[in-house]
Amino acid sequence: MLWEGLKLMGIGMATVMLFLLLMIACIEWVKHLTRNYTLLQQQALNSKRKSSTNSPETDTTSAVPIEVFAAAISTFESENNSTKT
């Protein structure tokens, strides 16, 4: 009975080990296939980072001005004060 349990454990562990080795091999294969694309992406990111550090202008189109936040807060507080009284 003990021997059968040990054999089953050995077969199960070997199956898991083979599956993990196959998974690692597939990951390495995909890494090998996409190495040129990865290098191009890395170069594009580096050039974008260099160009953004050289230009003194920052992209403020996505930033919301503080006045907008102040107006929103004051409107919210005035509405809350009027509903409480």
Q: Which two tokens stand for residue 24?
A: 């690692």
- Residue type at 38 in one-letter notation: T
Q: Which two tokens stand for residue 77?
A: 């507080």
CA dist 39 and 59 (Å) reads: 27
pLDDT score of 49: 87
pLDDT score of 17: 98
Which pTM was predicted?
A: 0.48
pLDDT score of 21: 98
pLDDT score of 55: 60
Q: Read out DSSP for 6-74?
A: HHHHHHHHHHHHHHHHHHHHHHHHHHHHTHHHHHHHHHHHHHHHHHHHH-S----SSSPPHHHHHHHHH
Mean pLDDT split into 10-residue runs, the chain, 85 residues? 95 98 97 90 88 64 80 89 71
What per-residue string of b and e applies to 42-72 under the rule 16 or more CB within 10 Å gives b?
eeeeeeeeeeeeeeeeeeeeeeeeeeeeeee
